[in-house]
Amino acid sequence: MVRKNPQAIGNKKIIIIGIILIVTIAFVGSRYIQVEKIENRKTISLLVNYTNITQERFVKIYVPAVDNEGKGVATVLKVGIKPGNGKVLVDINNILFWLDTQQSIQTAKRVAEEVTKADLSKFDLIYSLEEINASVVEGPSAGAALTIATIAAIEGKELTTKVMITGTINPDGSIGPVGGIIPKAQAAKEIGATTFLVPEGQGTQVNYIPEEKCEQMGYFTFCTTTYKKKVENVGKSVGIDVVEVKDIREAMKYFGL
């Protein structure tokens, strides 16, 4: 009868465990290296996009707004980028650019810089509105569109005209609520957009419809007004695909960024 040496058996187990650990570490390490390479390639690609800017280039985006009569309108916002020293230049064809619009531009620039990782201290950004009086474009509600266009200008990409967006932009990249969703959606549809991006929670609108009831009592008529709550789905009401987005990164994919 052959006796097995317990020490030899123990050594074999240690060797087997060691081999398993080495194989596992090698596999995990290779996966990490692959991910690292992919991320590096993305970073290098993005760096090429914006460090390659040698002359002025522009992108356009349609911005929805509501005019003084409550009708939805659309105007063209142009954002350009060129080699410079970090200036923000505004060209609005001799029409006053509201202070809140300037604040939205500054926030849009900061968010775009964070998203793209571009060093905008080496470039100037140019903003301009075309085809309509600037007074109908509320600065805060154009914030999300300003940010999308700034990102596209930095990355050197064209924006689809089939998508429009409304919403404020916050320093953390989140998109805030605005007014006039239904007329803005109508304006988007009229210019041929098929998708309208709105802030989270604004895909439906709550309206209160007044209902008057009158009662004759002798020589007097007494009337009371009550308000009936009506929830309206913006997309179904206007006939356009309405999508709620919570932040600028979520909105970017609809513009192909």
List the one residue out of 143, 145, 66, 135 whose CA is nearest residue 97. 135
Query: 184, 213, 229, 237: which is the annotated catalytic residue?
Result: 184
- Specify whether 228 is catalytic: no
Is residue 37 flagged as an active site residue? no
Torsion of CA 109, 113, 118, 119, to 10 degrees: 70
Residues 70-93: b if buried by 16+ CB within 10 A, e if exposed:
eebbbbebbbbbbebeeeeeeebe
What is the DSSP code (8-state) at residue 247? B
Phi, psi (5° rounding) for residue 7? -65, -40
- Going by C-alpha positions, the residue among 234, 114, 249, 116 that lies closest to residue 186 is 234
Instruction: Name the active-site residue from 104, 109, 128, 141.
Output: 141
Q: How far is CA 129 from the centre of its chain?
A: 19
CB 107 within 8 A of CB 53: no
| Cα distances (angstroms) measured from residue 249 to each of 49, 220, 256 | 18, 61, 11
As a whole number of angstroms, the distance between CA 90 and CA 172 comes to 24
Residues assigned a catalytic role: 141, 184
